[in-house]
Amino acid sequence: MKPGLGSDRWRVEPGRHLDLATRDPGSTDGAPGGHAETDAALPALHEELAHLQDRLWAEARRSLLVVLQAMDAGGKDGTVSHVFRGVNPQGTRVAAFKEPTNIELEHDFLWRVHQVAPRAGEIAVFNRSHYEDVLVTRVHELITKATWKARYGHINSFESLLVDGGTTIVKLFLHISKEEQHKRLDARLDDPTKRWKFRPADLVEREHWDEYQVAYEDAISKTATDHAPWYVIPANHKWYRNWAVSCILIDNLRGMDPQYPEPTV
């Protein structure tokens, strides 16, 4: 197996409390260089990712689940399109989690999530996830403290179930600064191709920035496990974020080392 691409640098150590204030969202630590040099490193990474995905799909036994979480304008959509550049749409899947429907609310919070977990051979990306159920619901007091506290354990058990079934789980928190969010929300208003993404509710959410940071710190600290690790990615620079995400996915897929099946004839 090839040596790693250094994704441990972003990995959250299980059992320790995460302090986001000590993580610089503008960091470019470990990058091959500045913007241009780092972009130049991407084609080789895209090629390797596509190759590993092909092997995973052909092997058809295991799967990869990538959980994407971030504050509004944190870069989730951009990361999804980046990650899937050059991979075969057959065998990949994106699930975006919006506010739960009435039917979803009549079930436990993991019901809708389990249904879209990756099948054998697939790479699935969750654009938002079951973590919203301990983040937005906590910040807006849609559930009691006892409920969100109990959910960390449910999440760890659920993820452990998926891992036992052959899924590798990679959880990515795209870490941006409050200033960077401001810039991006402003840009959404100015740019007719981005304005559709802007919702007045984003400004209300922004008022809760500090509460969200605390909710993220707790959620990540309580669910950063060996079986389903969290990575905190400095994401003020999109070029750095894209490179880091590629490195993490490739490191995990190299670790899985999927194999083309033996011919049956």
Euclidean distance between CA atoms 241 and 223, whole angstroms: 22
Q: Which amino acid is located at 250 in the chain?
A: I
Q: Which residues 6+ apart lie within 8 Å of 3 measured at CB? A: none
Structure tokens given for 181: 């969010």
Nearer to ligand AMP, 207 or 262 (CB): 207
- Minimum CB–partner distance for residue 20 and ligand AMP (Å): 18
Restricting to residues 19-78, name those near ligand AMP by CB under 6 A: none
In the list 9, 35, 128, 182, the residue contacting ligand AMP (rule: CB under 6 A) is 128
Nearer to ligand AMP, 106 or 226 (CB): 106
What SS3 class is residue 170?
strand
> What residue is closest to ligand AMP based on CB?
132
Q: Which residues 6+ apart lie within 8 Å of 178 measured at CB? A: 206, 209
Euclidean distance between CA atoms 153 and 145, whole angstroms: 14
- Minimum CB–partner distance for residue 77 and ligand AMP (Å): 8
- Minimum CB–partner distance for residue 65 and ligand AMP (Å): 17
- Minimum CB–partner distance for residue 116 and ligand AMP (Å): 13
Query: How many binding residues for ligand AMP (CB under 6 A)?
Result: 9
CA atoms lying within 13 Å on the CB side of residue 28: 14
Nearer to ligand AMP, 128 or 182 (CB): 128
Query: Residue 234 — φ and ψ, nearest 5°?
Result: -60, 120
Cβ–Cβ < 8 Å for 214, 148: no
Nearer to ligand AMP, 133 or 180 (CB): 133
Restricting to residues 75-114, name those near ligand AMP by CB under 6 A: 97-100
Cβ–Cβ < 8 Å for 142, 136: yes
- Residue length of the chain: 265
Nearer to ligand AMP, 81 or 88 (CB): 81
- Mask of contacts with ligand AMP, 129-148, x by CB under 6 A? ---xx--xx-----------
Nearer to ligand AMP, 2 or 98 (CB): 98
- Minimum CB–partner distance for residue 237 and ligand AMP (Å): 21
Cβ–Cβ < 8 Å for 124, 68: no
Interface residues toward ligand AMP, by CB under 6 A: 97-100, 128, 132-133, 136-137
